[in-house]
Amino acid sequence: MMEKELIASCGINCGICRVYLREKNTCPGCRLFNKSKPVTIARCKIRNCDELNKNNIMFCFECEEYPCDRIKHMDKRYRTKYHMSTIENLDFIKKNGTTVFLEKEKQKWGCPECGGIVTCHGGKCMSCGFQKFKN
């Protein structure tokens, strides 16, 4: 699912997350979180960032401290493990907007076999099992 509401403040598209896409115990995405949903969102240091919350910031690139150490750390982890960069995503959104970003995401994460969505966590299509990235 590629929707603007699924783009987190950190630049991650929650619509390509395995936990969002799975059938049971799904996550609503970072922006639609409520206390009855996964605890990992509740503990997220970026989602709970004082600067984001007190300044009502939509994306981290709007913050004076961008890119902060939290984003840099997350970016390094996501580049290594999940074939994406939070900083590149945020810079792209800042320059091109969320609509163009989601078009790019659809191209990158759309399954070439069935048209479903390939998850960034493992590179597997949740609809047909197509494996995009070889370990």
Residues of the chain short of pLDDT 50, as ranges, are none
Asked whether residue 118 is assigned to any structural domain, the reply reads no
- Give the pLDDT score at 35: 63
- Give the pLDDT score at 66: 95
Asked whether residue 105 is assigned to any structural domain, the reply reads yes
- Give the pLDDT score at 24: 85
| Total count of domains within the chain | 1
- Give the pLDDT score at 92: 98
Asked whether residue 78 is assigned to any structural domain, the reply reads yes
CA atoms within 13 A on the CB side of 21: 23
Asked whether residue 93 is assigned to any structural domain, the reply reads yes
Domain that holds residue 99: 4-109
Asked whether residue 72 is assigned to any structural domain, the reply reads yes
- Give the pLDDT score at 52: 73
Chain centroid to Cα 43, Å, comes to 16
Per-residue model confidence as pLDDT tens digits over 73-97:
999 999 999 989 999 999 999 999 9
Asked whether residue 22 is assigned to any structural domain, the reply reads yes
- How far apart are alpha carbons 125 and 132 in whole angstroms? 8
Please classify residue 20 by burial: count the beta carbons closer than 10 Å to its beta carbon, then call 0-12 exposed, 13-18 middle and 19+ buried: buried
Q: Residues of the chain with pLDDT > 70: what percent?
A: 90
Q: What is the pTM of this model?
A: 0.87
- Give the pLDDT score at 43: 67
- Give the pLDDT score at 36: 62
- Give the pLDDT score at 135: 54
- Give the pLDDT score at 34: 66
Whole-number Cα distances in Å, 53 to 57, 58, 75: 7, 9, 21
- How far apart are alpha carbons 30 and 16 in whole angstroms? 12
Reference 131, options 104, 111, 108; nearest CA is 111
Q: In 3-state terms, what secondary structure has residue 124?
A: strand
Asked whether residue 83 is assigned to any structural domain, the reply reads yes
Cβ within 8 Å of residue 107, ≥6 positions away: none
Asked whether residue 119 is assigned to any structural domain, the reply reads no
